[in-house]
Structure formats: structure tokens, C-alpha cells
Amino acid sequence: MSDKPKAHHEFMTEFPEIAAAYEQVATASHEAGPLDDSTRQLIKLALAMGMGHEGAVHAHTRRALEAGISPEAIKQVVALGVTTLGMPNTVAAYTWINDILKG
């Protein structure tokens, strides 16, 4: 199963040059510093939560699990959101993460 929403896949298929450039930027950003994959996955999950992007939260929750990150660690990322994102946004992210964890 792809970790990207259907619309994302369709866009990337329709615009292959953009897809290639996007993937190149994504690879470069992952290799730009000393963070390990688990840390990067948790940061990307937190960024997706902060933006309120449900599809990205789903994708990054799946990627975190695939990277061997425990559900408890993923839930801690949600808990950390309360003071920065506020309760309504954090609860929304909590439901999106549970879509995957309880899936």
C-alpha cells in the first residue's frame, strides 16, 4: 500500500518532471544533516500535525511505524502538540494517527 494519498499519486503521475524534482529535493533534505531516520520521521509527523494535513499525518504515521518507531513514541508526539497546536488541533491529529494505529 502506498503511503501517499491517491490525489498525490495522480498529480505526480500527470506531472513527471515535477515528481522527479520533488523527489530530488526530498532526498537532499533528508541527507542535509545528522538526524537519523527515526528522528526525521517524528519531526515530519509533527510538521504534518502542525499544518493540519490529515493525509500527511496518515503517511508519516505509517512511515514512523515502518521505521520501527513504537506507537507509544508516536502518541508522545501528539501529546507534545497540546501546548503548541492547542487542544482542538491536537485532538484532530490524535484521531488521524489513530486511523493508522487502530486501522
Cα gap 76→57, rounded to integer Å: 14
Q: Report residue 103's pLDDT band, with 50, 70 and 90 as the boundaries.
A: confident
**pTM given for the model:** 0.85
| pLDDT tens digits, 60-92 | 999 999 999 999 999 999 999 999 999 999 999
Per-residue model confidence (pLDDT) at position 7? 85
Give dist(CA 78, CA 69) in Å, integer. 14
Q: Do 12 and 18 contact (CB within 8 A), yes or no?
A: yes
Return the HEC string of 16-32.
Answer: HHHHHHHHHHHHHHHCC
| Cα of 6 vs its chain's centroid, Å | 15
Q: Which three cell numbers stand for residue 82?
A: 497540546
In contact, 89 and 52? CB cutoff 8 Å: yes
The full set of domains in the chain, from first to last, is 1-33 (no CATH), 35-103 (1.20.1290.10)
